[in-house]
Amino acid sequence: MPDKSTREEFFPEVYEIVKQIPFGKVLTYGGVARLAGRPQYSRMVGQAMFNAPADLHLPCHRVVNHKGGIAPNWPEQKELLIEEGVTFKKNGCVDMKKHRWNTELLLE
């Protein structure tokens, strides 16, 4: 587990990335971690989302797991995504082919 100073440095980076996810798009925890330059920290992205200060008004609902799965104990997440036009497959996961935010240009 990364130490407190790493979290204090990493969480704000995560929040800056999440702010940029466009309306109607999603990004995976791993995608956020890669953009932050720490691809091994995808679980820590989840911690950052859970601990995000409400006053930042982050679109945390746009962060999903690698399969497009949403948080199991947050039913509002799906509602918020649907309101943005995000579609789901029969298995309940976001249709990642349609809605994954293409960050390739950001990584160059």
Tell me, letter by letter, the H, E, C secondary structure of 31-76. Answer: HHHHHCCCHHHHHHHHHHHHCCCHHHCCCHHHEECCCCCCCCCCHH
Q: pLDDT of 14-69, one tens digit each?
A: 999 999 999 999 999 999 999 999 999 999 999 999 999 999 999 999 999 999 99
CATH number of the domain that residue 58 is part of: 1.10.10.10
Q: Is residue 12 domain-resident?
A: yes
Residue 45 lies inside a defined structural domain of this protein: yes
Q: In this structure, is residue 15 part of a structural domain? A: yes
pLDDT digits (tens, 9 = 90+) for 68-85: 999 998 989 999 999 999
Catalytic residues: 60
Residue 108 forms part of a structural domain = no
pLDDT above 80: residue 98: yes
| Full residue range of the structural domain in which residue 86 is found | 4-101
pTM for the whole thing? 0.90
Number of compact structural domains in the chain: 1
Q: Does the pLDDT value for residue 105 go beyond 60?
A: no
